[in-house]
Structure 1
């Protein structure tokens, strides 16, 4: 191995590298025992501390913390425990007749020493959910959570230290320099969740070692609303997900395309549900979070100032309080295409609205953009829905719903190109942390030996017959 002795994490990496085969040979029973311990820690031992840490970092409402940071991880663990035996057993495949005398199968083996790099917006879920799959697949893991959600990172460090030996699972805290040092090490797989710019940095760094990666990124996820639609349902669900976690969600609606005939109806119902969810004064609602940091607050504030410069129409202008890192729900229309809100991933409680006359306009617009992590379609028309889906590309799609595709662990979750590489959740996460090893076993003499040298006229004829008939 290249000399990495100057790297502050080389010793930890080496310990996990030396231990990887022991962990790889652990039984299903042993892996389930580890997952049971993690489940108990999240569901019982540290549950209240998790909610408190999320509140300190994001002012996350208790219900949202329970749903995302507790329920979804527990669901992931239960799903892995229920299916691990099936995932890990020999996956038999067909063998061609010309290979008569052999049998073939796929063995899912652990990739080895893995790195999980997680973001600040859902720090508990997006750290521990990939860890579930890494454990199920039999890997050793180093975790690097975001330094921005510091209270959650501190708590997860405690949980990991409580449950695992350092040569199996370890959590490293630190800033950008820490991440850079970790990326210099030759991991066998890196699972990164975060922004597109940082995803590109990760991709460039791992290219030196040809390390496989799963990149869960983001992008500008559109909502397309047909005029043949349950407008109340559309307004309610868009308003819910757009402001869940104060809009700091990778699959949140980034902007909405509304058929021009129903624009006023959508706006009316959207305002109605904002009031129903958060009351007349959102800043006093215990159901509404806050922006993670001053840096992100100022970024969003600059988007709003840019929109005003471009003379956009503020349909709902949310209150702004820098001291409290509070930005209220904001709805904007008549945005020029060159505005920041139409070109940057928003990641906040600001919803741009665009109108259209014909569905073809939407498709033309979307084809010129990067593939989003999510695309949402609201319509009672099957032909409209199919047209949008068949003529666009996206990592995930919901029809007449918002965001709940993330909670179905039977579905692959992930982006496409700039919105992500690779898939996650359930079996797809297990697969990301596994190498699909092809195995072929010969148990009897077969026809292949008839084609061994020396090559005679008979063997030439046999080769021609093989090409023609097999």
Structure 2
């Protein structure tokens, strides 16, 4: 999803011991559990977004040179919506959920209580550094946790705002921001947390999971991968080109759910290439480098990695680069081999390989032998083709004839499967992710006579009664 690494060689230090101790004391006190405390933190987050809207826009422009409007629709508005939803629904989310009872527990109260995990760590990436930091934070605070936030050091301007301004809006007894790079992240992960939420690359995700395993800490890993995009022969090529180009090149391709490569027939490729050329020109003009609608690659290291990928296959569209400007033109590659680097790693940039297949079944077989992606896209006017792809493939998200507009829905979970991650969030799913679902049975202290039914020695009539009470035919009541 994003690319950075954890350091492994560092002096023994405990730079956050006091901070973590303070947060642990708050967890033990139970101070964060009441609904009103949680709402107060959410209202503080809402004020942070509202009062620092321009400051966040400026920070994102400094890090990515992204248009303010695109920052609003991909980050700030979505975060605001998430806070608003949590404030409206928190009381309902927090309610105990009654569960069905069998005859043996007929006089007991049975329910699931959502409790905070305690002290949680959120490690965020740089590509949408506000969205992918604050969206999980909303759920963690709503669930009543104390939070350590680790923004990405690569998005330096946003990190500074989150570290210096955001803490003014939240209670310092339950919230802290840790700055730094890979070495600081590695040190931080040596501490015990009750939950870790990580968004980033598979490589670093494995390191996070390994560190969490030492403390048996549960994790959510929001990772990336190579998201396939199948284009059927019955499609209108210009419609497909418009949608694929927009979602591939939005944020300069630095989006974990962007289509990573196209699979289509040779005939569709011949029709799709001029349509993509037309879409790119329409969106970004004859000289895309001068377009205000294209941001920039986040760092020199990422620029160099992407420029090396341009050597794969053959450049059919674009391919121009400017190292000083960290600019890479919207590029389409053809004649790419599956074994080349551009098909072995997540691209995370404005490069779109097109591979040809002989049939739908060949495309499905191609997807099935690769790691399960975070998102899978299908373009076809034939519902049967879409359903076949849906039923014979696996991915975190599936979308037909569209891109990643599903990210605007708090009602739909975001999460990967297999190599693309584990766990899910957005809306109530984030609240549930950061809540321990505690099964509770409250039985009466009296009526011991009834319990004699299942105490030994087991007599014939009591055996039959217990068997009947446990059977599927017995009534279940809420």
- Tell me what 1:442 maps to: 443
Per-residue deviation at 1:49? 1.1
- Tell me what 2:142 maps to: 136
For 1:281 and 1:118, the matched residues in 2 are separated by: 33
CA contact under 8 A between 2:379 and 2:400: conserved in structure 1? Answer: yes
- Tell me what 2:117 maps to: 111
- Tell me what 2:216 maps to: 210
- Tell me what 1:38 maps to: 45
Q: Which moved more, 1:13-22 or 1:132-141?
A: 13-22
- Tell me what 1:195 maps to: 201
For 1:91 and 1:274, the matched residues in 2 are separated by: 51
Distance 1:116-1:464 versus aligned 2 partners, 3 A rule = closer
In the alignment, structure 1 residue 340 sits paired with structure 2 residue 341: yes
Distance 1:462-1:193 versus aligned 2 partners, 3 A rule = same
- Tell me what 1:454 maps to: 457
Matched position secondary structure for 1:423: coil
- Tell me what 1:80 maps to: 86
In the alignment, structure 1 residue 155 sits paired with structure 2 residue 161: yes
CA contact under 8 A between 2:126 and 2:155: conserved in structure 1? Answer: yes
For 2:363 and 2:328, the matched residues in 1 are separated by: 29
In the alignment, structure 1 residue 90 sits paired with structure 2 residue 90: no
In the alignment, structure 1 residue 9 sits paired with structure 2 residue 12: no
Matched position secondary structure for 1:418: helix
Q: Given the alignment, which residue of 225, 233, 247 partners 1:227?
A: 233
- Tell me what 2:267 maps to: 261
Per-residue deviation at 1:24? 5.1
Per-residue deviation at 1:313? 2.5
For 2:399 and 2:240, the matched residues in 1 are separated by: 12
For 1:46 and 1:462, the matched residues in 2 are separated by: 66
- Residues 258-291 of structure 1: per-residue CA shift (max 9 Å, x gap): 2333222222221111111111111111110111
Distance 1:134-1:465 versus aligned 2 partners, 3 A rule = closer
Distance 1:442-1:248 versus aligned 2 partners, 3 A rule = same
Q: Given the alignment, which residue of 30, 47, 65 partners 2:53?
A: 47
Q: Which moved more, 1:83-92 or 1:226-235?
A: 226-235
Per-residue deviation at 1:447? 5.0
- Tell me what 1:181 maps to: 187
Per-residue deviation at 1:15? 0.6
Q: Segments of 4+ in structure 1 off by > 6 A?
A: none
- Tell me what 2:392 maps to: 391
CA contact under 8 A between 2:310 and 2:319: conserved in structure 1? Answer: no
In the alignment, structure 1 residue 430 sits paired with structure 2 residue 431: yes
Gaps of 5+ in 2: 1-11
- Tell me what 1:290 maps to: 296
Distance 1:231-1:98 versus aligned 2 partners, 3 A rule = farther
For 1:66 and 1:158, the matched residues in 2 are separated by: 21
In the alignment, structure 1 residue 380 sits paired with structure 2 residue 386: no
**Root-mean-square deviation (CA), in Å?**
1.7
CA contact under 8 A between 1:395 and 1:414: conserved in structure 2? Answer: yes
For 1:332 and 1:6, the matched residues in 2 are separated by: 47
Matched position secondary structure for 1:31: helix
- Tell me what 1:273 maps to: 279
For 2:355 and 2:254, the matched residues in 1 are separated by: 21
Per-residue deviation at 1:67? 1.1
Query: TM-score, structure 1 length as denominator?
Result: 0.94
- Residues 386-424 of structure 1: per-residue CA shift (max 9 Å, x gap): 100100000011111101111211011100011011001
Per-residue deviation at 1:80? 1.0
Per-residue deviation at 1:462? 4.4
Per-residue deviation at 1:101? 1.4
For 2:30 and 2:464, the matched residues in 1 are separated by: 51
CA contact under 8 A between 1:199 and 1:217: conserved in structure 2? Answer: yes
Query: TM-score, structure 2 length as denominator?
Result: 0.93
- Residues 28-81 of structure 1: per-residue CA shift (max 9 Å, x gap): 2332232222112212x2111111111111111111111122101001111111
CA contact under 8 A between 1:76 and 1:409: conserved in structure 2? Answer: yes
Matched position secondary structure for 1:385: helix
